[in-house]
Structure 1
Amino acid sequence: MEEKLLQEAYEKSKDYLYEDSLRFNLLSIIEKDRDEAHVHSKVIYSLLSQNWGKKDKETFLTLFLKEIGIGEEIIYNEKWEVSREKAFDLDTIKGRLDFEIKSKDYIYIIEMKIDAGDQPEQLMRYQKFAKEQHKKYKIFYLTLDGHNASKKSIGEEENLEENEKVEYINISFKEEILNWLGNCLKLVEGKENKSACVNQYIASINKILGEKDTKIKDNILKSVENIKNAISLYGELNDELQVTLENFMSLLKEKLKTRIGNEIIYYKKYVKNYYNYTLDKIPQDYPGLYIVLDKNKSNNSNYYKFVLKLELAPELIGCLGFIKNDSDEKETIPFVSFSKVKKDSSGLYNRCLKKIENLEVEDKLSDNNRAYWYYIKNSKGEIINFKDISLSNKTLLSLMDEETLKEEAKNIATYISNEIVKNMEI
Structure 2
Amino acid sequence: MEKLLSVIRSVKKTGCKFNPFDANFGFLENTHSDIIAKLLDPKLGLWDYFIRRLNADNKVDISYFSKNLKIVREKHKIDILLKDRRNAVIIENKIWAPDQPKQLARYYEKIKNQFDTVTIIYLTPFGHPPSKESVEDLQAIQISYQRHILPWLEEWYDENKNRSEVDENLRIFVKLYSEQIRTITNNNKYMIDILEKVFGTDDKGYAEEAISLYKSMSSRINLLCIGSIKDRIMETLRDVVSADYADGDVTEWYKDEYKECWVLDDESNDISFFISDADIYAERDKNELGSICCNNLDNKYLQDILTRNNEGIKQWLNSIYDN
- TM-score normalized with structure 2 length: 0.49
Which structure has the larger Rg over C-alpha atoms? 1
